[in-house]
A and B are shown apart, each in its own frame.
Chain A
Amino acid sequence: MNSKRAGAEAVASKGWVAAHRWLLARRLCQLALLALFLLGPLAAVWIVKGNLAYSLTLDSLPLTDPYVLLQSLLAGNWPEKLALIGALIVIVFYFLVGGRVYCAWVCPINPLTDLAGWLRRRLGIKGSAHVSRSSRYWILAMTLLLASLTGSIVWELVNPVSMLHRGLLFGLGATWVVVLAVFLFDLFVMSRGWCGHLCPVGAFYSLLAKGSPLRVTASRRAACNDCMDCFEVCPEPQVIRPALKGAGKGIGPVILASNCTNCGRCIDVCSKDVFTFGLRFNNPPENGTQGEPTAATSGH
């Protein structure tokens, strides 16, 4: 057990709400999106139809999951125009805000794996199967290969992400078994196992983040007191070190790694307000080297 919970310092210095600002915003966003989708089937108010694979908002805005569409293309099917437009909109959007914003702000599995990660910390569950974080890219390649070899969208048969979202809107059936399996896997078998190591959906969206302008930046990294809270709460802690500790190596303060989900938890838990949302272009390597933190980059 940790003697001190991650983020305790931040709560003490900023207050609970300020120390959970982005977490609350994220949960609100996830809930609001789900509510928007559920409004149709539950209350017959059809603002959004469909699910995360493809949806039509107000009968005019198409949004397509580019990953499933790519699999369909590889399987040898040419989609209708609306699906292509929808995919284009989604690709541009996630390029702008960071691909894995999908994971942190939209994906219905995220609250569950976050809960598993939180429980792991609270219960002090140690030990984790070691699998490389790059496994997800191999799995992504495998799903694309399977689609083109078999001519059918194989990954969608087992994809817990789309399965859960579809299940919530169209009838859950035995989907809860798959979801529970992912949760227990993350809790007992592998720390941050699903989202951080295996999920090819996240891997695909991380590819959209190469060059995303909106990034988290450790703009006041000189103020870091090495409390390690950000590493503790971050679902992809490997992305933090280069930016936070790179001042001596000539690396700028912006977290450029495409696997950063822009969840903002590091911003929340830092009592020194080291992190903030910023633009990738505002990345001076000399930041933090003079011992005096440069002015924080303006918000988003």
Chain B
Amino acid sequence: MPTANKDRSPVPARAANTQSLARRQFVFDSARLLCGVGVLGLGLAGYAKQARARPPLAVRPPGAAAEDDFLGACIRCGMCVRDCPYNILELATPESPIATGTPYFTARSGPCEMCEDIPCVKACPTGALDHSLTDINQSRMGLAVLSDQETCLNFLGLRCDVCYRVCPVIDKAITLELRPNTRTGRHAMFIPTVHSEHCTGCGKCESACVTEEASIRVLPAKLVKGSLGEHYRLGWEEKSKAGGHSLVEDRELVDLPDRLPEGVHLEGHFDPGSDPLPAGVPAGGPALPSLPPGLGGPAAPGSGLNQLPAEAPR
């Protein structure tokens, strides 16, 4: 009350003293509070930073933004979990290494069934799952990678093909690429090959993989996808862009001799820079293709079926 204070205007020394003591106490208390809350905040921020590192085998539902944005948008309500008709989604519990309360699925135990109406995205109230995703084939939950060529049955020359068969985007997201089987010398290997422009990361391949540990896995695209770099030009693509004209072969190029270790002779390898020209090819002619004989190049003398490239070209 201001009036009460005015009445005793000459402040006694002791009262002034207690006043300053009270002020000191207030400052100290406030400092204590701020420091305490500050330390708590620092700890939380550190924990939050850890929590951003999502384990690679936890896959976010379709339409999930990049992890950093997702953790700013998801309010952990679990609506996506409830509206998933196959019950594959879970909310992370505090002990799991995923940000607490956020939804995820594990492809190996339950992959996304790729519902056409995408109910999980529709259920999301915050847009953490992007509502502009209306075609499930456009979702990018991750990227399948044939992560173990040592155990993949198709890489061993068998016809498993399971990952290819179960792929919802069959023949686009996974194709079987034929390679000569150099072990038998007479068979083909059907190499499951993932194409990132079509793979949705649903995880059906990983779930269906017959090996004890999956040989094909859905991983965060950021973790596995390489990038050529802006400056790269692929000759064959440039050629087709240029209407079939190779940007290279149109010029007068000198083909230098291929450098091989001394005394090594590769069977079937044709090096127009140093090998004598096959019979019937005029010397000094333009644009001699440097393909090995039998693979589009000129037939080399003595070529046979066993002269396949030692390594399948990637």
Contact = CB atoms under 8 A, between A and B. Distances in A.
A152 B37 contact: no
B278 to A, nearest CB: 65
B126 A80 contact: yes
A157 B73 contact: no
B48 A157 contact: yes
Interface of B: 29, 33-34, 36-38, 40-41, 44-45, 47-49, 51-52, 68-69, 71-79, 81-83, 90-91, 93-96, 99-101, 123-128, 131
A50 B78 contact: yes
A55 B75 CA distance: 11
Contacts, number: 154
Given A163-B100, A173-B96, 15 more contacts: A53-B76, A77-B73, A134-B33, A135-B37, A142-B37, A152-B68, A153-B74, A154-B44, A154-B48, A155-B44, A162-B101, A166-B76, A170-B90, A174-B93, A175-B94
A279 to B, nearest CB: 28
Contacts of A298: none
Contacts of A156: 75-76, 100-101
B93 A173 contact: yes
Interface string A44-59: 0010011101111000
A69 B100 contact: no
A83 to B, nearest CB: 4
B125 A82 contact: yes
A277 B101 CA distance: 37
Nearest to A150: B48
B82 A79 contact: no
11 contacts: A46-B82, A69-B126, A75-B71, A77-B126, A131-B33, A132-B29, A135-B37, A154-B47, A158-B44, A162-B101, A173-B96
Most chain A CB inside 10 Å of its own CB: which residue of B37, B51, B95: B37
Contacts of B71: 75, 151-153
The 10 closest A-B pairs by CB, nearest first: A173-B93, A75-B72, A54-B77, A174-B95, A152-B71, A83-B125, A77-B73, A154-B48, A53-B77, A138-B37
